[in-house]
Structure 1
Amino acid sequence: MAQTDLFKILSALVLLLLAAHLTGRLFRRFRQPPVVGEILGGLLLGPTVLGQLLPQVQHWIFPKQGPVAVCLELVYQLGMLLLMFLAGVEMRTVFSRKDGRTVGLIAVVGMVVPFAFGLVATSVLDTSDLLGPAGNRTALTLVLACSIAITSIPVISRIMLDLGIARTPFARIVLSVAVLEDIVLNVVISVAVGIVAGSTTNGFGLASELGIGSANASAVYHSLASVGFLALVALVGLLLRRRLTASGGGPVAPLAVRVSAVLASAAACLYLGVAPMYGAFVVGLISGLTAGAAGTASGPAADEAIKAIRSFATGFFVPVYFAVVGLKLDLIRQFDPAFFVAFLAVACVVKAVSVYAGARLARRPAADAVHLAVAMNARGGPGIVLATVALDTGIGSPSVFTSLVLTAVVTSLLAGWWLERAINQGSLDRDDELPPARLPDRPLSSTAGR
């Protein structure tokens, strides 16, 4: 590698990391999701701001092709994998049997109705202008439907932690529903990515070796592959958990082995034609379960390994990932205000009405149902990951990417403002056990604002 390219790579990483941390800290100081600040940091360095003020400098530091672009794309992809791994880890210990009926009704109504609405609306309307280079209408339909139905666990958990309501029954219901939604919707997203990948892999992967070519056969294959991968890894995790519990502990996979598992699962997903982020997400789920295996001496060691991964991931890879998301945003040439406003309004209304209906069917008070509807509209990190996946795989156009990212940002900010307002008005209670300033640093807060 030429010294000039190495200099550009190091300079680009330094600028992205500093911009992400500085703007993220600024947003955190004002009790806003840091992920919004990290994206803003990248936006300032991208074509929207720096590209308008100093276009030659912006193109020199952040070229679209060559070694620098390849290196930044690698760090970006690793950041997404580690983010999804941490999202999976955070999904442990949020369920309670006494909330079963409420969680079930809100999850079914609040996810199925928006997803079905997205499927119907996208099928009826002309979406030819929204298609990406892949030109696959089915995949785009699935992505847009998921973007309407999705909820961000990390963002809403951090908001509730900052507001001092993280231990309330309200928070437990929100997180439990979000866990179920994210698991199901990640399967759907993986299927959408697989459908597109199956037609562009040039002979690579199991689907190609099996001779699967038609659209219907591809959809069936990738659905089975996604569910089968989840079932296989879950079975391995269950057996490992039982073995740890029965033996009372034992050697625990060190940090290097856990990171290797994330990379290996992502590589396996690529071969199967499944979204690589899905593999990292599933490994995170299993890691969270095995780390929490009761009665084992290995539990603390496993928690330490996950804590170490979280530390370097959230210190470098994840902030750079979100900064690169901002870097890819071009609000001058790749932003359709009419589509964004329409999509934002429809997504928020459909999701809010569905969650509200589910909460009322579960006999929750009207005020509580409204708070649930707003809280579960926060799309945050998962919404941004969905947008980047749609862009990187060619499912959606750059304008779709921009609109999905901005929708995730706006809904996250709206959820924080609404819940704080509800607390100040006395319609939402804070934690009874500890004041906000003394809340412990739980796993759910670790990827703050993501």
Structure 2
Amino acid sequence: MGFKIEMEIKMRYLSEQNIFIFLIQVFCLLGLARVLGELFRRWKQPPLTAEILVGVFLGPTLLGRFAPSVHNYIFPNDIVQQSMFDTVAWLGVLFLLLEIGLEVDFSSAWKQRGDALKIALTDIIVPMAVCLTACFFIPARYLTNPDQRIIFAFFMAIVMTISAMPTSARALYDLRLSKTDLGFLIMSALSVNDIIGWLIFTIILGFFTQVKVDVLNLIVIVICTFGFSIFCLSIGRKIVDAVISLFKARKMPQPGVPLTFICLLGLACGAITHKIGIHALFGFFLAGIMAGGSKALSEETRSVISQMVYAVFVPLFFVNVGLKVDFLNNFNIVLVLFISLIGIFARFFGAWLGVNLTKISRANRLTIAIAHTPGGSMEIVIGLLALEYNLITEQMYVAIIFAGVISSVILGPWLNYSIRKRREVSVLEFFSRENILPSLKYEDRDRVIMELCERSSKHLETHSTDDIFLAVIKRENIMGTALEEGIAVPHARIPSLRKPLIVFGKSVSGVYWNSPDGKLTRFIFLILTPQEEDDSQVQILASIVKSMSESETRDAISSSSELNEMWNILQKTFAATQITKKKKK
């Protein structure tokens, strides 16, 4: 009797040793993941690679093989200890899906539904068909249960279909493309891809996890899933926007109150989707979409949420991925190549087919198709779920991880190659001394844009200030163009415009522009490009952002007040950027 009571006490309460070991685990794993992740970021590589490597180093692959006593002390074979860290790791992936949802601009994606929907649908249907077919040829020894080949094939098809939107978004940001129309279209298509892909995945997962296959029950799951999704993407978004707007109107603490509300929203939606019979991940994803659609949610608050998730939660999840299995014992080069090549090819071909069904210029088609190729974090998340449900073997799990990492690592250089293939454009071709406003009159965003448009209209005989302003403000309201360090690049495509035009204005006191870092905007470049021409906008905007990213340039412009002095600074800066481009080529 006494032994039974003692066991119940052990099961109900954590020991001091459990807490101590847990703290050691988090300290080692999070610390190493952050340090190595920052190194990888400087090398223009995704941090998730570094985070997985930390798990591989400290897991059974290396530390467990060469220093088993140390490994067993830090990661004891104790169910309570393992459950503690697994719980934190799963919180990481839940909040990762919440943050990904925040990046999905459903309203903008809906406005772009023509081209974006074509690209997204082909990038779901084609990879699904290619991968589904290919998975039927995988030998039975790689399946945990050969009788479940069909459900296995569907899972693997989803693994190799959903694109990693955060990876693509980061690559676009690094290449200074995130604020261009091209970047906007890519993110819109990836948003639709994510929504459709995760909806299909969670329904398949719901079918698989049913203890007893009941047709009526499965129909109820599908109806409830679609119903809840439609509610969240329509009425739910309006309710959440009203609540966040209320927080802002009442001047409640920012970003604390919205952050708490969004976390609670994620937990509530996760609980609802779990109750429906599909995974809680989809609920967190929908919660992120609802909150992300609120115009009252500032870019600074979004940035705080993103930093919180990627600084703490996400590293612990991907470290846990590396801790799960022995990568050396389960590495199979044939499987790695099969999953990597099929997945990358299928996603690329699907997006390429979709973009060729649109009227998008040929110069942008390759870039859009490449941006859809990374499986990255999403591929790994789904792979881990499949392993947890005993649907795939450890060898297949390791192959999926390698495939996700490979597709993420090659994305940056591949995208950069597609940009370098474009015709060379110099900012100075479309920018002159007369188009500089050394000191803007207003401190309001719309009035500043109007002031810049007024200057541009002097060079455009067929376009009035009001026409230009309406085009620019419409584009700005769809997707803000404020960047970090006080820079904004409002732009628009103007019908019948013969060549691009650039106007620059400096605000002495600063303008509130809802920037990601919360700083006031002081350096504003208005970029007008022809309606049918795509190359110049991408090249011009990327060149401006690169030039203004140097603190010396910003400081020099800030300290100058004379028109000629400011023109000399900008002229030298853009000329230097052009020389650097030529040397790289």
Instruction: Say whether residues 1:255 and 2:254 are aligned partners.
Output: no
Match of 2:95 in 1: 82
Match of 1:340 in 2: 336
Say if 2:348 and 2:370, in contact at 8 Å, map to a contact too: yes
Deviates more, 1:406-415 or 1:137-146: 137-146
Alpha-carbon shift at residue 318 of structure 1 (Å): 1.3
**Cα–Cα, structure 1 residues 189 and 77, in superposed 2: closer, same or farther, change >3 Å?**
same
Aligned counterparts of 1:180 and 1:353: Cα–Cα separation in 2: 17
Give the superposed CA RMSD: 2.9
Alpha-carbon shift at residue 111 of structure 1 (Å): 1.7
**Cα–Cα, structure 1 residues 304 and 167, in superposed 2: closer, same or farther, change >3 Å?**
closer
Instruction: Say whether residues 1:31 and 2:27 are aligned partners.
Output: no
Match of 1:446 in 2: none
Report the residue type matching 1:61 in the other structure.
Answer: I
Alpha-carbon shift at residue 226 of structure 1 (Å): 2.2
Match of 2:273 in 1: 269
Match of 1:160 in 2: 172
Q: Deviations over 1:177-197 (max 9, x none)?
A: 111111011111111221232
Report the residue type matching 2:226 in the other structure.
Answer: V
Alpha-carbon shift at residue 227 of structure 1 (Å): 1.6
Instruction: Say whether residues 1:174 and 2:186 are aligned partners.
Output: yes
Aligned counterparts of 2:16 and 2:241: Cα–Cα separation in 1: 52
Q: Deviations over 1:91-146 (max 9, x none)?
A: 12783788543322222222211112233333x43564343479744432222111
Match of 1:296 in 2: none
Query: Matched residues, percent identical?
Result: 24
Report the residue type matching 1:16 in the other structure.
Answer: L
Aligned counterparts of 1:389 and 1:79: Cα–Cα separation in 2: 14
Aligned counterparts of 2:159 and 2:220: Cα–Cα separation in 1: 23
Match of 1:226 in 2: 225
Report the residue type matching 1:159 in the other structure.
Answer: A
Say if 2:241 and 2:291, in contact at 8 Å, map to a contact too: no
Match of 1:202 in 2: none
Aligned counterparts of 2:264 and 2:240: Cα–Cα separation in 1: 19
User: Secondary structure of 2:328's partner?
Assistant: coil
Instruction: Say whether residues 1:146 and 2:150 are aligned partners.
Output: no
Say if 1:384 and 1:408, in contact at 8 Å, map to a contact too: yes
Match of 2:236 in 1: 237
| Structure ranking higher in helix proportion | 1
Aligned counterparts of 1:91 and 1:98: Cα–Cα separation in 2: 13
Alpha-carbon shift at residue 162 of structure 1 (Å): 0.9
Alpha-carbon shift at residue 409 of structure 1 (Å): 0.8
Match of 1:60 in 2: 73
**Cα–Cα, structure 1 residues 28 and 106, in superposed 2: closer, same or farther, change >3 Å?**
same
Aligned counterparts of 2:247 and 2:92: Cα–Cα separation in 1: 34
Instruction: Say whether residues 1:279 and 2:389 are aligned partners.
Output: no
Long gaps (5+) in structure 2: 1-13, 424-534, 550-585
Say if 2:33 and 2:319, in contact at 8 Å, map to a contact too: yes
Deviates more, 1:149-158 or 1:93-102: 93-102
User: Secondary structure of 1:330's partner?
Assistant: coil
Scaled by the length of structure 2, the TM-score of the pair is 0.65
User: Secondary structure of 2:202's partner?
Assistant: helix
**Cα–Cα, structure 1 residues 197 and 423, in superposed 2: closer, same or farther, change >3 Å?**
same
Match of 2:3 in 1: none
Task: Give the alignment of 1:372-391 within 5 angstroms.
Answer: 372-391=368-387
User: Secondary structure of 2:356's partner?
Assistant: helix
Match of 1:22 in 2: 35
- Count of matched residue pairs: 418
Task: Give the alignment of 1:126-145 within 5 angstroms.
Answer: 128-132=140-144, 136-145=148-157
Aligned match for 2:209, one of 178, 197, 202: 197
Task: Give the alignment of 1:289-328 within 5 angstroms.
Answer: 289-290=293-294, 292-293=295-296, 299-300=297-298, 306-328=302-324
Match of 1:45 in 2: 58
Aligned counterparts of 1:81 and 1:431: Cα–Cα separation in 2: 38
Scaled by the length of structure 1, the TM-score of the pair is 0.84
Aligned counterparts of 2:198 and 2:106: Cα–Cα separation in 1: 20
Deviates more, 1:77-86 or 1:265-274: 265-274
| Structure ranking higher in strand proportion | 2
Aligned counterparts of 1:243 and 1:426: Cα–Cα separation in 2: 44
**Cα–Cα, structure 1 residues 88 and 106, in superposed 2: closer, same or farther, change >3 Å?**
same
Aligned counterparts of 2:91 and 2:241: Cα–Cα separation in 1: 31
Ranked by relative contact order (alpha carbons within 8 Å, sequence separation 6 or more), the top structure is 1
Match of 1:209 in 2: none
